[in-house]
Amino acid sequence: MDLSLFFLGTGGATPSAQRGLPATLIRRGGEQLLVDCGEGTQRQLVRSVGLSDLDCVLITHFHADHWLGLPGMLKSFALREREKPLSIYGPPGLSELMRAISFVYGKLPYPLEIEELEPAHALRRDGYAIVAVPVRHRIAIAYGYVLIEDQRPGHLDAAEAERLGVRPGPDFGRLQRGETVAGVRPEQVMGPPRDGRKVVLTGDTAPCEAVRIAADGADVLVHEATFAKADEKRAQQTLHSTAEQAAAIASAAHVKLLVITHVSGRYAGGQLRDEARAVFAATEAPRDFDAIVVPFPERGGPHLIRWRANAAGAPPTGGPTNAGRGRSAVEGSVRRDQDAEREAGGHLPAGLSTHAQNASAWDGDAVSCA
């Protein structure tokens, strides 16, 4: 079962010429899950892998740079006469937010299923679960998400199975599914169960113990790194993280690979990556349209694939590559935003509760990260 992360937007608060707003496409087998949907996400999809039918959308919190791309994308699905149901998950307050913006996308020809998740809720799917992890940010409730696969059967000792009288072919598959074949029990020829893969995406957060616990032993931790060490005070004020702090969490959690995103426009990604690598060497800082492939452990470790190596195809889903494996290329020059403080935003209809009112303005990073 292939598993990959495709980064549609790696910036935060406001888009730049180099980085779109937060959005990450998780591809597992034939499923496609979108985590956050910043403004312009559907355009990023069209420019890269295509606006294919998503299976679900997971919103981390209600700052507008994490959801403002939803109305346009939902409407585009309608114009394409989508029929397949679409599920959207998020913190409490999601239903109210979706009602408030429904006048934008109107009546849809496909079922739209909205589900609010409670903290630590495990959303069961085929062969894996998604767990909502409360994180620490400047809003009433913000989540990170953990994708954790079910255990896999242990390794089959084919030679021993044949010696005991099991014929190669379908009978091997029956043993792997837990059946007794020709008097041979699975435990006689199967190794211990193998853990599935685990991927953690934090959304926006200050360093917090919940993330460290949730990420323990993860194959990949995608952690925001809005600021450099020199701006740690600003990170504290806005409840974001520095690259060094993200690396400290990765180290404490013993993850295999740290991936830093939500990069402020004042930095080149390479600068933040290098600060993180000084604490945790296995760190990557993807650009928009880069991907992280997450193979099963016996097939190698998670690794970065730069978009140029995959520009003509879908998000990579497994196998070796000679492009950027385990190493980041030097970031190109990144135009820095002006240092002047600025405020962005747009307002939702009046009468919304505290949850939805929190979504009526930009994250505040438009002020704090500029």
User: Which domains are seen in the chain, by residue range?
Assistant: 3-152+194-368 (3.60.15.10), 158-189 (no CATH)
CA-to-CA distance for 296 and 151, rounded, in angstroms? Answer: 12
What's the Cα-to-Cα distance from 46 to each of 181, 215, 282, 310, rounded to whole Å? 50, 32, 31, 15
Residue 248 has φ and ψ, to the nearest 5°, of -65, -40
Distance, C-alpha 251 to centroid of its chain: 19
Task: Record the pTM.
Answer: 0.82
Residues 6+ apart with CB under 8 A from 329: 306
Q: What is the pLDDT along the chain (370 residues), one digit of tens a residue?
A: 999 999 999 998 889 888 999 999 999 999 999 999 999 999 999 999 999 899 999 999 999 999 999 999 999 999 999 999 999 999 999 999 999 999 999 999 999 999 999 999 999 999 999 999 999 999 989 999 999 999 998 889 999 989 999 999 999 989 988 899 999 999 999 999 999 999 999 999 999 999 999 999 999 999 999 999 999 999 999 999 999 999 999 999 999 999 999 999 889 889 999 999 999 999 999 999 999 999 999 999 999 999 974 554 555 554 433 333 333 332 332 333 333 223 233 333 333 343 333 333 333 333 333 3
Looking at the annotation, which residues are catalytic? Answer: 65
